[in-house]
Structure 1
Amino acid sequence: MLLRSSLKNQGQTYQTCVFCTDSDRQFYKLWREGTHLIVLVKRYSCRKYGAVGYFHDLHHEPAELLNSRCFHCLSFKRDRRMAHKGDLVVIGISVGLALGILIASLIFFGIWWYKKRSNLQQCSNESTLPTVPIRMNGLGTSNDFSASLASSVTIRGSEHSQKSSPVSSWWNHHSKDQFASASGILRYSYKDIQKATQKFTTVLGQGSFGPVYKAVMPTGEVLAVKVLASNSKQGGKEFQTEISLLGRLHHRNLVNLLGYCVDKGSHMLIYQFMSNGSLANHLYNDEERFLSWEERLQIALDISHGIEYLHEGAVPPVIHRDLKSANILLDQSMRAKVADFGLSNEEVFDEHTSGLKGTYGYIDPVYVSTNKFTTKSDIYSFGVVIFELITAIHPHQNLMEYVNLAGMSPDGVDEILDKKLVGECNIEEVRDLAAIAHKCLQKFQRKRPSIGEVSQAILKIKQRLLDREMSREFSRVLSRIEDQQVELSRMASRKDGD
């Protein structure tokens, strides 16, 4: 063989390890095992690993031997190849992870934007809800209608009793005169309310028309019971007719009337229970949680939609007559609902009033001089509520004087902004909302905007707030993507260095 002939001279023949430096040497010796097997023992002197041995069969071609590498260099090269493959796997996983995070972020951003847009669209469309025709007591009602309504609710009441579930059997047994009216309003007995309120000991607060109690029904349902003043001028039949008609008013921003009680000389209204209490409590009670600017703006929008439904969605329009922060209730999601609407024949008993309907600090001056309520009277009261949201100053604490003084100052509403909101809100949005409130408080009613115009103006502010939040969220997503790219670059650099 050619290789064998090249090794016929005894001694050491040196050959360079092609992976190591040229100065590294290898030498080999020849052994003969028997008469047939020839084995070459190659010994490398590798600078990297020192003297090591490697066996090679002489039957291989010489070219393979000439391109030989020492054993450790071969192992090192194999490790390098494996490490390179590992680097590719790590980079692939990192890139895939980055793409996954990017896609997830874009999906999250899309869902967030869709929900915000849907919420805004829903707020915008609330004013277009179907009109519910109603007739208040004394406005188009008659004794014949009242009699037919009473007959109708009695018949429906018997049907309701027959279809009642076992859970409410105790309730029906102790409430023989409970029935559903034509509008779905239930009538409860005095005994039932007394038991549900633990003998009227579960006081929630004192409203304009009387105390409010928390009632836990046998079915577990929690309700709010408003007991009207005992000197009400309405009779039982008139009261039933009016609340039955009011029960047909349903809107997401109104506190729904669910039932009533006319028994033992008492007039009671049963409403859905609002777990977060009134807006006034959150503004003036330090123990309640702080209302953010975003929440306050949403509350203003909710109130405007509730009043818009009363003014423009009911036929004839319903005037609230006592709109104030204490009559704005908040549900578990901190969404606002207007309460105490439509009690047109009840007088408000307040230490600051003298035969006037309404609450001191919220009453339209035009109503005081003319003794005539209009929808623009509610607009005035709403302007006061808006300034309460901005300043957290109660009308009884000279709110309007502060507002008038701020109007003469170069800094304007900035000077009377709620201290808790300083640095936590967009001051331009605050000024825009204050401008809406100023229009609502115009001296002449004809200069005051309609509730529909107020809703649209607040909605525009809400739109800008949503756009700002969207831009901020998009910037956060881009920042996260850039951070991931930087981290991937660092990982790749470390791998290349190794």
Structure 2
Amino acid sequence: MGGENKGAAKPQAVSSLCLVFSVFLFSFPNSALAGNSSFSPPINYLIDCGSTNQTVLQDGRIFKSDHDSTSLLSTNEEVQASVDSVNLNVSSSLPPSSLPLYRTARIFSEKSTYTFHIPKTGPLWVRLYFFPLPHASYDLKSAVFSVQTDRIVLLHDFSVRNDSTLLFKEYLVNVSDSRFSLKFMPNENSFAFINAIEVVSAPDTLISDSATTVSTHGEFKGLSHYAFQISYRLNVGGPQIPPNEDTSSRNWEPDNPYNIFPDGTGDASVPAKSIKYPETGATPLIAPSSVYATAAQLKDAQVSEHNFNLSWRMNVESNYSYLIRMHFCDIVSKSLNQLYFNVYINEMEGVSDLDLSSETKALSTAFYKDFVLDASAITKGYITVQVGVDNLLQGTKNAILNGVEVMKMSNVANSLDGLFTVDGKYMGPSSITNVLKIVAAVGLGLAATAMLFIAMICIRWRKRPQGSDKGNNISSWLLPLSSAKCKSNLSSYKSSKSSGSRRSSKFGSRKSKNAISGYFTTNGIGRFFPFSELQQATKNFDENAVIGVGGFGKVYLGTLEDGTKVAIKRGNPSSEQGINEFTTELDMLSKLRHRHLVSLIGFCDEDPEMVLVYEYMANGPFRSHLYGSNLPHLSWKQRLEICIGAARGLHYLHTGAAQSIIHRDVKTTNILLDENFVAKVSDFGLSKAVEKAYVSTAVKGSFGYLDPEYYRSQQLTEKSDVYSFGVVLFEVLCARPVICPKLPREEVNLADWVMHQHQRGMLHTMIDPRIIDTINSESLKKYVEAAEKCLHDHGVDRPSIGDVLWNLEYALQLQESASQIHAPEDKSANCIDFRNPDDRKEDHSIASTSDGADLTDVTLFSQIANFQGR
């Protein structure tokens, strides 16, 4: 152990200290730059703090001891710490070659400064190494201190509590003076320490002054005025790249720990010597060729449809903006203009239809792009970068990424750690302002409560019994309202449900439940069912009565006391999704009544049970009659009528209610058929009421049906439902799943493939062969025209659902007219036309098995069989 060395170095004039040791500046070789003579750092300080000798790392870099260079350090008191026997083989993403730097440390009990002479101004790498070594007199794990330059706060109230991990901090700062200082400032009654320091020149071209702003796609200017802390530097698809293999002694981590979907990711690699750099743009100083020589790509056709993205998630500190650099190099294509893909950051589109060939004019050529992500776009404490296939019909369905760098940007206080400036000034919200806001809020709350109380008294006084003012006791009209009249309990009902927390009973006694039942019946939600009645209706929720399972819970076929069949959806108490959907369904269906919407009969809420009761749709989901079951197929006319019914339901949602309601999960499993094959839209658990043209929201929906514009922008509009309905129309025409991984790669996604075939004039090859000969050509033309318009990439180019409805009705008229004129042979003899009263008598054959048993395994809601995912 090194002993104390009090007073070893007294404060001296900074200028003389720096000039005397200008020779010290150039005494450190940087083997990391071997083979790259284009850049030799004019500033290259490598210091092993607390060491008595120089330290030579495995990568060839030489760290000098600050013991022999005390003129760099201004302090009144310092202590050395060293260790030989402690095992430093601890968890870290750093290369093992850096371990020797953590075996010694310099400890400061007062403010101390390292000052470096800067012969050439510009960007500098500042790298700090921390590990709390054991010491006889100091517990380094209890040290609390700050580290700052002359104008940038690097660390504020910093401590290293964990002695099982090596800590490495890396910064990029711009220096415009001839001297650069690193100040270590212990908190009161504490101390500071440092194991090693690097202050090394960075290339002037490393960070340009502008980047693309993710949220607005505008240009962000002035990056040169910011300092950066490197949060992540990933070599995607490849191994770790140690400092000696990088052009600026940088360490590149493998991407594996951050890959969200490793099973869908495939690696690609080429020899590093085959990588080329363009005349302008990327250079070896931006990233070494070994970064561009490896990449991640989509693994196979199973995941190459447009809803799957390669994704990486990295935890970051909120309240900061971040510079995100993404590296690309097309090492997977065989020729130019084969690869087109999209880039997303935090589910916002960064680049659409990126064509590396147009950027680099050659394969295996390096390219990078910078993005700025504003602090307001980081709401969950992480950054997600994604690449995914585009929606163009040209090129291969693939996407790649070679490398990612994430850099925290300094804030309004010129700080990378907190809101205090180097002068100690706090730049955050004023505490006085916060107190005033709290006082104002409390005052308004008390005032509102008082006004409400006074209003209640006035109401009760007006409704007081005759002669009550003559009595001596006024409690009869001041008592709280009875539970039968207390609707205030109901106002908090939906908010408490949506919280996702563990619920207590909202309804108390049976008398209160009956009162609430009456309230909900009066207000259109329906009947309140005691849980015991639902148990009886389902024979105590017999598993044989299950007709579906989903995120909300199980769906049962039940029979009420009067013989009415109902669909009973019983929530899973542990499902937060279920709680949200429960309240959303209640809220939506209380406002909606339409022939083509599934009706909510009632509900039950007896802690912890949440149950929704719907009308029973005897013929189940539309999809079951298209493919995947043994049910008789539907004729073309029936399919048109069902699509028209669904369109009418969606049209009512978009235009018939007080607020426009967007369904968000339109698909054939959410179009249910009653005993007469009348179509009704169901499942409003993801629905959203909007008051303006669009609403920004987290993306929800089902693979294959999801609007790509909504996915990219997170801006939900009615046209998102129109896109999904367009997919439904082609699904109805072709009678195949919208996503089928077993098919060849280009055929996996129905919407993409049918549009491709239509453009080639080959649409007839995809039509359900059971009905192709019965479809009138003009009816088909009008139908396909409507479906095609729904699938436009941009919502503004899509028709309204009302326009789609008009075209479908016209297609039906054309079909009926052709049938009356030509009376062709009916090749759908087994189909039942639900418009024919005689055919209705045979409806039960569709809802039963060959032996007459009830077909209870027919799926009823979107969460059930054939679920495509949300």
Distance 1:206 1:283, change over 3 A: farther
Shift of 1:286: 3.7
Query: SS at 1:204's partner residue?
Result: strand
Aligned runs of 1:171-320 on 2, under 5 Å?
179-180=517-518, 181=520, 182-200=523-541, 201=543, 202-207=545-550, 209-233=552-576, 243=586, 246-320=589-663
Q: Deviations over 1:424-471 (max 9, x none)?
A: 222332232112111101000100100111111111112222323343
Post-superposition shift, 1:363? 0.9
Contact 1:177–1:188 (CA<8 Å) still a contact in 2?
A: no
- Determine the structure 1 residue equivalent to 2:756: 405
Q: Contact 2:552 / 2:575 at 8 angstroms: preserved in 1?
A: no
CA shift for structure 1 position 227: 2.7
Amino acid at match of 2:526: I
Tell me the residue number matched to 2:726. 383
The 1:447/1:149 distance shift into structure 2, 3 A limit, reads farther
Distance 2:790 2:722 in 1: 6
Q: 1:419 and 1:409 mapped to 2: Cα distance?
A: 19
Which of 357, 360, 366 pairs up with 2:703? 360
* Bigger radius of gyration among the two: 1
Larger fraction in strand: 2
- Give the count of matched residue pairs: 304
1:432 and 1:228 mapped to 2: Cα distance?
42
State the distance in 2 between where 1:385 and 1:235 align. 26
Q: Is 1:450 equivalent to 2:450 in the alignment?
A: no
Query: What stretches of structure 1 of length at least 5 have no aligned partner?
Result: 1-142, 155-171, 347-354, 475-498
Query: Where do 1:451-466 residues align within 5 Å?
Result: 451-466=801-816
**SS class of match (2:653):** helix
1:371 is aligned to 714
Q: Which amino acid in structure 1 is aligned with residue 656 of structure 2?
A: G
Matches within 5 A, 1:71-90: none
Shift of 1:415: 1.4
Instruction: Measure, in 1, the Cα distance between the counterparts of 2:551 and 2:637.
Output: 29
Contact residue 664 and residue 700 of structure 2 kept, 8 A: yes
More helix by share: 1
**Other-structure match for 1:148:** 487
Q: Distance in 1 between matches of 2:766 and 2:580?
A: 49
Letter in 1 for 2:661: V
Contact 2:726 2:791 in 1 (8 A): yes
Shift of 1:187: 1.5
The DSSP-based 3-state class of the residue aligned with 1:395 is coil
Deviation at 1:371, TM superposition (A): 2.1
Indicate the SS of the match to 1:455.
Answer: helix
Q: SS in structure 1 opposite 2:601?
A: strand
- Contact 1:178–1:188 (CA<8 Å) still a contact in 2? no
Pick aligned residue for 2:682 from 317, 326, 339: 339
Counterpart CA distance in 1 for 2:775 and 2:578 is: 50
Q: Distance in 2 between matches of 1:178 and 1:230?
A: 21
Give TM-score, length-normalised by structure 2.
Answer: 0.32
Indicate if the aligned counterparts of 2:699 and 2:710 stay in contact, CA closer than 8 A: no
Residue by residue over 1:106-136, the C-alpha shift from the partner in whole angstroms, topping out at 9 and shown as x without a partner, is xxxxxxxxxxxxxxxxxxxxxxxxxxxxxxx
- TM-score of the two chains, using structure 1 as the length reference: 0.55
Q: Which amino acid aligns with 1:407?
A: H
Alpha-carbon separation, structure 1, partners of 2:712 and 2:549: 28
Q: Is the Cα–Cα contact under 8 Å of residues 525 and 589 in structure 2 kept in the other structure?
A: no
Distance 2:581 2:546 in 1: 27
Aligned partner (choices 659, 673, 695) of residue 330 of structure 1: 673
Aligned-pair CA distance for 1:193? 1.8
* CA distance in structure 2 between the aligned counterparts of 1:262 and 1:345, rounded to whole angstroms: 23
Residue of structure 2 in register with 1:395 after alignment:
738
In structure 2, list runs of 5 or more residues that go unmatched.
1-448, 453-484, 494-509, 690-697, 741-747, 825-870
Amino acid at match of 2:761: P
Tell me the CA shift for residue 317 of structure 1: 0.7
Q: Percent of counterpart pairs with the same letter?
A: 35
1:116-155 superposed matches below 5 A = 148=487
Cα RMSD, aligned residues only: 3.4
CA distance in 1, matches of 2:672, 2:739: 20
Aligned residue type for 1:210: G
Cα shift readout 1:289-338 (whole Å, capped 9, x = no counterpart):
11000000111111110000000101211110111100110111111110
- The answer to whether residue 791 in structure 2 is matched with residue 441 in structure 1 is yes
1:3 paired residue number: none
Highest relative contact order (Cα 8 Å, sep 6+), 1 or 2? Answer: 1
